[in-house]
Amino acid sequence: LFRSRFSTGSVVPPVATAVCSRGGTQIRFVIMAFYQLGCLVLLSSAVLTLGQSSATDVTTPPPKTADELDAEALALQEKGLKDAKIEYKKGAWLYGDYMQINQITSAVECHNLCQADAVCSHWNYHGVGGDRCDLKKGSTGGFNEDAGDWLSGDIAGRLESLPSGGDL
């Protein structure tokens, strides 16, 4: 197709151009194509133009670390639980695994799933790096307070109504 339309050394009009600018600095990208020795050749170029800085330029803060983003996500989940007046604590129940549900977007939703399930007595929510909700059953089991990236809670009244002897 190109052989029939362009001769050797012919330049094809720009394939794509883009201009990005911020705070007086501008970068222009151009992608060109030409036909040379039987081959279509693509070239790209970028031109950087530095503008005058002004007193109104805003300094961009450095990107947040993964730990900072995780702490913000956890604080947002805690706020949701407090706003919904749901009792919780940081940490995770270790035993009584009943059901794991992924792609749960909030600790409140995890609590509500547990509350709607007649067997569920505890819940764990891991909103950092996975959005995972673990539903737990039973009245015995350990609790890991060092799991600070988990939020957990109990369903009021469920523990007292379980048969004696621990887990269902």
Full-prediction pTM beyond 0.75? Answer: no
Listed in sequence order, the residues at least 6 apart from 48 whose beta carbon sits closer than 8 Å to its beta carbon are: 25, 26, 27
- Whole-angstrom distance, CA of residue 81 vs CA of residue 147: 18
Dist. CA 38–CA 14, nearest whole Å = 19
pLDDT digits (tens, 9 = 90+) for 58-111: 678 888 888 888 899 999 999 999 999 999 999 999 988 989 999 898 999 999
